[in-house]
Chain A
C-alpha cells in the first residue's frame, strides 16, 4: 500500500508541531509519533497501530528542520514493512537512532549557527536605515532555505527511504555550515563598520577614530571566549559609557565656563 499525497501533507503539517510537548525524557519523541500517526493509521490495521505507535513514542531528538527528512524515510520504511509484512521494526528504530544525532549537529551548525546570524546581519542594514519592512526581509531571507529543506527533504526521504542519508553525505552540508558561518562573520564586520561610521558621521565627529572600535570589540570577544556572560559584558560596557559620558559632559561644561 502506498500513502497518498493527502496523508503525506497531513504528516508534513503535523511536523510543524514536532516540539509542542518537548520534554527532557523523550525530547521530540511524542511529537514524532504525533506527526506519523495519520500515516501509521493508513498503513496498519487497528490492532497493529498500537505496536507501531509505541515504537515511535520513544526518545527522539534531531534538528526540527531536518526532522521531515527522517519522518519521510521512516514513513517509507513503515510502508515497506506494512506491504511486505517483514519484520523491519529493528531497522526502523536503528535508522532513527543512527541519523538523529548527526542530523541535529548539522542542522544546529547550519541553521542556528550560520544562517540565522547571516540573515540577521543582512536585515540589520535595512533596520538601521529605518526601513520598517526589515522584519519581513529577515523572515523571507531566513525561511527560504529551511522551508526548502522541510518540504523537499520530506519528499526525498519518502521516495528514497533509508538511502536518503546519501543525500546529506553527497552535498557536504557540514561544509556548507562552515561556509555560512564565515559569510556571517564577514557581513557582521561590514555591519559594525557601517554602524560605527554612520554614528560618528551623524554626530559630526571625526570618523577615522572609529577604526579603534576593533580594540574593545576584540577584548570583549576574548572575554566571551573565556566564558564571561553576555549580560556581564553588556553591563560593564554600559557602565563604562555612562561614566565616560558624565565625565565628558562635566569636562565640556567646565571648558565652556
Chain B
C-alpha cells in the first residue's frame, strides 16, 4: 500500500507542475496522467479506464487568465492509486472499485482549486523580493526567487493528492460491502455516462454557433453507419 501511495505522490508532483508552473506539454491531462500512474503501479488498463472517464469532465473549464479550473490531474492520479491499492487490499480490482474511488475523488478534488489559489497568492510576495534583488544587482538571486514559485505549486499538487487519498482510505473500505452491491447493477452504465456528461458540458459551454446541431448530426450519422455495418 505505501509503495503505491509514494509512487502516486511522485507522479502527482510531476504532473501537477505541468498544469501551470513548467513545460505545459499536457502530461497533466487525465488521459495521460492516469494511465502513466497505472503503468507505474502495474495496472495500466485501470489507469486507462479512469483516464477515459475523467478526461472530458472538466475539459470545458479553460485555464484562462486568473481562472483556476478543478484539479482533474490529481483526481485522475488519486483515483487510479486508490483503485489499485484498495483493489489489491480488498481483493477486488473491478469496475465497481474504480467508480467508487472516482466518485469519492471527484468532489474532494475541488480542494485543488483552493490550494491552487493559495499557491498563487503565496507567490504574490515574490515580485517585491525580486525587485530588492534587482536593486542590489543580484541577478542570480532574482532568478532563484522566480524558480521558488515552483515549490508552492508543487505543494498545492501534493496536498490535493494527499487529501483525496486520505478521504478515500477513510471512506471506501468500511463502505465497500454496501457499495459493491449498489454499484453492481449499474457500473457499466456509469462508466459510459461519465464521458457523456463531460461532452454534454463541453457542448453547453463551447463558444461555437450551432454546436448542438453539429454534434447531433455527427452523432446521428456515426451511429446509423455503425448500425448499418454491424452484423
User: Bound complex: CA of A245 vs CA of B153, how far in Å?
Assistant: 41
Cβ of A237 within 8 Å of any chain B Cβ, yes or no, is yes
In the assembled complex, the CB of A7 is this many whole angstroms from the nearest CB of chain B, namely 15
Segment with Cβ contacts to B, from A68-76, A84-92, A152-160, A179-187: A179-187
Given the known interface contacts A61-B65, A224-B204, A242-B190, the answer about A23 and B147 at a Cβ–Cβ threshold of 8 Å is: no
Contacts of B107 in A (CB 8 A): 231, 235
* Contact, CB under 8 Å: A24 / B66: yes
* Contact, CB under 8 Å: A124 / B56: yes
* Contact, CB under 8 Å: B56 / A120: yes
* Contact, CB under 8 Å: A127 / B110: no
| B134, B208, B212, B223: the one within 8 Å of A218 (CB) | B212
- Restricting to A159-200, which residues have a CB under 8 Å from any CB of B? 178, 181-182, 184-197, 199
Contacts of A123 in B (CB 8 A): 31
Cβ of A102 within 8 Å of any chain B Cβ, yes or no, is no
Contacts of A196 in B (CB 8 A): 192, 196, 223
User: Bound complex: CA of A54 vs CA of B134, how far in Å?
Assistant: 7
- Restricting to A198-235, which residues have a CB under 8 Å from any CB of B? 199, 201, 203, 207-208, 210-211, 213-214, 216-218, 220-225, 230-231, 233-235
In the assembled complex, the CB of A32 is this many whole angstroms from the nearest CB of chain B, namely 10
* Contact, CB under 8 Å: B35 / A21: no
Contacts of B145 in A (CB 8 A): 21, 30
In the assembled complex, the CB of A50 is this many whole angstroms from the nearest CB of chain B, namely 6
| B48, B70, B153, B195: the one within 8 Å of A132 (CB) | B48
Cβ of A80 within 8 Å of any chain B Cβ, yes or no, is no
Nearest-neighbor residue (CB-CB) of A198 within chain B: B226
In the assembled complex, the CB of B174 is this many whole angstroms from the nearest CB of chain A, namely 19
Nearest-neighbor residue (CB-CB) of B25 within chain A: A143
Contacts of B218 in A (CB 8 A): 185-190, 193
User: Bound complex: CA of A30 vs CA of B120, how far in Å?
Assistant: 13
User: Bound complex: CA of A74 vs CA of B57, how far in Å?
Assistant: 38
* Contact, CB under 8 Å: B185 / A245: yes
User: Bound complex: CA of A190 vs CA of B219, how far in Å?
Assistant: 5
User: Bound complex: CA of A182 vs CA of B203, how far in Å?
Assistant: 11
* Contact, CB under 8 Å: B135 / A25: no
Cβ of B162 within 8 Å of any chain A Cβ, yes or no, is no
- Size class of the contact patch on chain B: 35 or more
Nearest-neighbor residue (CB-CB) of A34 within chain B: B146
* Contact, CB under 8 Å: A20 / B21: yes
- Size class of the contact patch on chain A: 35 or more
* Contact, CB under 8 Å: A64 / B24: yes
| A16, A208, A246: the one within 8 Å of B182 (CB) | A246
User: Bound complex: CA of A49 vs CA of B231, how far in Å?
Assistant: 73
Contacts of A210 in B (CB 8 A): 223
User: Bound complex: CA of A128 vs CA of B211, how far in Å?
Assistant: 24
**Chain A 117-153 against B: per-residue CB contact (8 Å), 1 yes, 0 no?**
1001101100110101011001100110010000000
Point out residues on B near A: beta carbons under 8 Å: 20-27, 29, 31-32, 35-36, 39, 44-45, 48, 51-52, 55-66, 70, 103, 106-107, 110, 120-121, 123-124, 126-127, 130-131, 134-135, 137, 139, 142-143, 145-150, 153, 182-183, 185-186, 188-190, 192-208, 211-212, 214-224, 226-227, 230
Point out residues on A near B: beta carbons under 8 Å: 16-17, 19-27, 29-31, 33-34, 37, 41, 46, 49-50, 53-54, 57, 61, 64-65, 104, 108-109, 112-113, 116-117, 120-121, 123-124, 127-128, 130, 132, 134-135, 138-139, 142-143, 146, 178, 181-182, 184-197, 199, 201, 203, 207-208, 210-211, 213-214, 216-218, 220-225, 230-231, 233-235, 237-238, 241-242, 244-246, 248-249
Q: Shortest 6 CB-CB distances between A and B: which pairs?
A: A189-B218, A21-B149, A245-B186, A224-B204, A245-B185, A220-B200
Q: A135-B32, A221-B203 are in contact. List 19 more A-B contacts (CB 8 A).
A: A22-B123, A23-B124, A34-B147, A46-B137, A108-B64, A117-B206, A127-B31, A194-B222, A195-B195, A199-B189, A213-B196, A213-B219, A220-B200, A224-B201, A230-B60, A234-B106, A238-B103, A241-B189, A242-B190
